[in-house]
Chain A
Amino acid sequence: MSEALLAPPDEAALAAAIAAAHAAGEPLAIEGNGSKRELLRPVQAARSLTTRGLSGITLYRPQELIVSALAGTPLPEIEAALAEKGQHLIAEPPMLAGLFGAGREPTIGGLVATNLSGPRRIMGGAMRDHVMGIRAVTGTGEVFRSGGRVLKNVTGLDLCKLLTGAHGTLGVITEVTLKVLPAPASSGSLALRVADLATGVRALSAGLGSPYGVSGAALLPSGGVAGLAGPLALLRIEEFAESVAYRLGRLREALAGFGEAALLGEDASLAAWQAVREAEPLGAAPEEAVWRVSVKPSTGPGVVAASGLDKALLDWGGGLVWLAGPARPEQHARVVAATEAAGGTFTLFRAPEPLRAAVAVLPEEPPALAAIGRRVKAVLDPKGILNPGRMRAGF
């Protein structure tokens, strides 16, 4: 299938390839390293275009808290460069090799296109919050920029946000500029053995509503970190060492009523959060479907119950609900109904192809918004050649 894969070496060649596809009206599946090829719906395209030829960090100014990289740069390469200067990606984006298979390293362009964020999202913001600038190519092959390389910028419409999370359907990202921050000097966690999920979310809410700057708040229904049984509420502090000790102590006092408490030192805490980041405690089996549901935190436990599934993992204070279970339309419908009842949104995150192709993997938009969406799509990709069908059937 190698002739079916376009791997342009630079932005100009990538733009030319898209311009040619536009002229021919030929759809393209857009990917980085293809680590999330199985995310959302299958794309209806005979050929793929990869950004992997566009790789490397193009600008890194630690004092300015800014890093720019070509879209095909693998995430580990960026993380390593940042770590050398004691910095990190704020949103803690996951690799999710456990869900999608190892061996294909996520690219930074792919992470931005999918807007995937990890546990620190609850405090530090999502990937989309840290995209300061973007270069991209439209579905007609035109290169454009939005944003820039500074931390504060409101000049013109924010197309960075529009492309972040658009899954390659509005343009092919060729370079991103991200805000970064100093990595915390130290970290640690408080683990609380709670009676049930609702109590767990109340504990997380109490922690997030405390003045101690909780930077991770997850709920593991069957425990499993540091040898602790569940349901387990996990709250993280990332600070200077003195503050970690002080704040965990105060949190422990404040949350004493929610259940038996244990403190996790730095190593145990890092390991626990690495697992949460990668959704490992979900324990999804390879043949199972995985849903990622975003709701108001207090409704998280209700969504788990209404889904009828017993494999769950809650992050972001209870607002991010991971669910795993049978890859069947009836089960999907049940997750959708549970999400809608809670007023949130769902993503059928991973599933065998027949299910992904058969159901809506994202919520429908109200008609007036969908109409705007079609017009915006027509501006950026008039012939609909970029990742057709990826997010919605026939779109």
Chain B
Amino acid sequence: MISLPDPKPAVLARRAEIVAALRALVPTGPLGEGVISEELRLKPYETDGLSAYRQPPLAVVLPETTEQVAAVLRYCHANGIRVIPRGAGTSLSGGALPLADAVVIGLMRMNRILEVDYEDRLAVVEAGVTNLGITNHVAADGFFYAPDPSSQLACMIGGNVNMNSGGAHCLKYGVTANNLLGLKLVTIEGEIIEVGGRHLDAAGYDWLGLLTGSEGQLAIVTEVTVRILRAAEGQRAMLAAFKGTEIAGAAVDAIIASGIIPVALEFMDKPCIHACEAFAHAGYPLEAEAMLIIEVEGSTEEQDMLLGKLKEICGRFDPISLKVAQTAEESMAIWKGRKGAFGAVGRISPDYLCMDGTIPTGELPHVLKRIGEMSAEYGLQVANVFHAGDGNLHPLIMFDANDPESFHKAEAFGADILKLCVEVGGCLTGEHGVGVEKRDLMGVQFSPSELALQRAIKGAFDPDWLLNPAKVFPLEDNPALQRAA
């Protein structure tokens, strides 16, 4: 169980006054009330994608402009009030979990697309535009925004920036950090700043890079300038199923060694194949121990050429089945199971924890074997799906939320998996962020002095630790939070 800092009694005591002040700063507008304070209406904000943790905030503010965000931050800063930035609240690490004495600043009303420039291949959007909203806006003209987290229908670009989110196609197109040009942000003091711009590689310190993935620790992002790319002529998927996870791992190595970098290279283990097949009836081979979904891009002839090479490579590893999609529909059928993987596991077990460690890909067989052993030790089922090209694992640990014992076991199991990831040379989180979930494991990956350094850099942006405190950095040894509490 993760502990949160004590609320500041002085802030709790002033709740009515704070709400009134916020209402004056963000009055009711065309989209509705600017401030939410009734208990019942705070409920939707009490948790995020890590729903095991819940905590209603002091109030929720829904600004419609950068200036309003600045005014709210200026007020909160002057009054020592903690602030939780929030996009769509799909964080799987509890990054948007409120605190009892904190004001949630929800960016969802800032959802305008401000500019699309095809000649310069960029779009300027507000932080509350959804990830898919960007692609949908430019798709008719053949363009797309590359990072595509599975949550893309809901999650917002401001959240993506702050989590440095990835997706199934980041092997070729990179993660959020690789697809940004500029940000407009507001500091905790209420200063509006722009970093980057509409150009590549701004001179001076790479503030854009530091802010990306900073999990709401450094500033509130209100506008984002993203690169948009022209889509390839077409894409097609194939499926390859193998008798062992080691064999599938070797096939992945052979693909990379061949010089082909597929746009997607997804790996599923047996429990995951079964869960997805039961859910999606995608025609996955149930006898397989491991399965790869491989996608390539280009013209039809280029797809044929690449898929031919990939088929030949996979053929060397005694596959149980090799299925190359001939049409877009067949590709979709292959993807259907994978895309529904979380939902599929959700059907077997209503509650699961989604882990997100990354390992050197060479360690895959060892790590999957150890996860299997731990699953037996903890008596909890686990299904593995992951981005094979980059070693980003997503073990889904199934548990029963009605049984606190089961939840604690699942958390301990998850922590053991992440420790294993670090032990073999990997890291705690590849794309979901540290949030509250992995906060107390940070000492596994970083030394106390490294953590102190990161904290000090946060302090350079947010000296009073008002911005999303109690996330990312362990609470103990944190003078800022102890002083505040």
A residues apposed to B, CB below 8 Å: 61-66, 86, 115, 117, 121-122, 125-126, 128-129, 138, 142, 144-146, 148-162, 164-166, 170, 181-185, 202, 205, 208-211, 213, 240, 242-243, 246, 294-298, 316-317, 319-320, 343-347, 362-363, 365-366, 368-369, 372-373, 375-376, 378-380, 391
Q: How far is the CA of A191 from the CA of B148 in the complex (A)?
A: 34
Chain B residues with CB under 8 A of A150:
358-360, 390-392, 425-427, 430
Q: Which residues of B contact A319 (CB under 8 A)?
A: 120, 199-200
Q: Which residues of A contact B428 (CB under 8 A)?
A: 155
A233 nearest CB across to chain B (Å): 14
User: In the complex, are the beta carbons of B199 and A294 less than 8 A apart?
Assistant: yes
**For the complex, is B313 an interface residue (Cβ under 8 Å from A)?**
no
Are A297 and B175 in touch, CB under 8 angstroms?
Answer: no
Residue of B nearest to A243 (CB): B302
Q: A145-B450, A156-B451, A294-B202 are in contact. List 15 more A-B contacts (CB 8 A).
A: A144-B449, A150-B430, A157-B217, A158-B177, A159-B457, A161-B210, A162-B206, A170-B205, A205-B121, A240-B259, A296-B199, A344-B199, A345-B203, A345-B204, A346-B203
Asked if B77 CB lies within 8 Å of chain A CBs, one says no
Also in contact, A158 and B209, with CB within 8 A (given A242-B302, A296-B198): yes
Which of B195, B305, B391, B445 meets A155, CB within 8 Å? B445
| Least CB distance, A199 to chain B, in whole angstroms | 13
B121 contacts A209, C-beta separation under 8 Å: yes
Contact B204 A164 (CB under 8 A): no
Contact B204 A154 (CB under 8 A): no
Is the pair A151, B198 in contact by a Cβ cutoff of 8 Å?
A: no
B203 contact set on A, CB distance < 8 A: 294, 345-347, 362-363
Q: Is the CB of B429 within 8 A of A153?
A: yes
Question: Which residues of A have CB within 8 Å of B427?
Answer: 148, 150, 153, 155
Determine if B431 is an interface residue (Cβ-Cβ < 8 Å): yes
CB neighbours (8 Å) of A316 from chain B are: 200
Q: Is the CB–CB distance between B232 and A213 below 8 Å?
A: yes
C-alpha gap A344/B204 in the complex (Å): 12
User: How far apart sit A61 and B434, CA to CA, in the bound complex (Å)?
Assistant: 27
The complex places the Cα of A376 from the Cα of B119 at a distance, in Å, of 36
Q: How far in angstroms is the closest Cβ of chain B from A224?
A: 25
User: Are B209 and A156 within 8 A (Cβ)?
Assistant: no
Q: Are A121 and B193 CB-contacts (below 8 A) given A150-B360, A150-B390, A164-B209?
A: no
A62 partner residues in chain B, CB cutoff 8 A:
256-257
Given contacts A121-B200, A156-B472, A372-B187, A165 and B205 within 8 Å (CB-CB): yes
Q: Is B301 an interface residue (CB 8 A)?
A: yes
Please name 8 pairs of A and B residues whose Cβ atoms are closer than 8 Å in the assembled complex, sorted by A: A128-B206, A161-B212, A344-B198, A345-B204, A368-B193, A372-B460, A373-B205, A380-B457
Q: B197's closest neighbor in chain A, by CB?
A: A343
B408 within 8 A of A: no
B117 contact set on A, CB distance < 8 A: 296, 298
> Which residues of chain B are near A61, meaning CB under 8 Å?
360, 362
Q: Taking A157-B217, A362-B203 as contacts, is the C-beta distance between A345 and B197 under 8 angstroms?
A: yes
Q: Counting chain B CB atoms within 10 Å of each CB, which of A122, A184, A211, A347 scores highest? A: A211
Picked from B204, B392, B453, the residue with its CB within 8 Å of the CB of A365 is B204
- The yes or no answer to B164 lying at the interface (CB within 8 A) is yes
CA distance A170 to B461 in the complex (A): 16
Question: Does A166 contact B205, Cβ atoms closer than 8 Å?
Answer: yes
B118–A152 touching, CB < 8 Å: no
A208 touches B453 (CB 8 A): no
Among B122, B170, B202, B210, which residue has its beta carbon within 8 angstroms of that of A157?
B210
Point out the residue from A152, A366, A375 that lies within 8 Å of B170, measured CB to CB: A152
| Distance A313 CA – B383 CA, assembled complex (angstroms) | 53
Chain B residue contacts of A213, Cβ below 8 A: 232
Closest to B256 in A: A63
When C-beta atoms are compared, the residue in chain B nearest to A138 turns out to be B453
A129-B174, A319-B200 known; A144-B120 Cβ under 8 A:
no
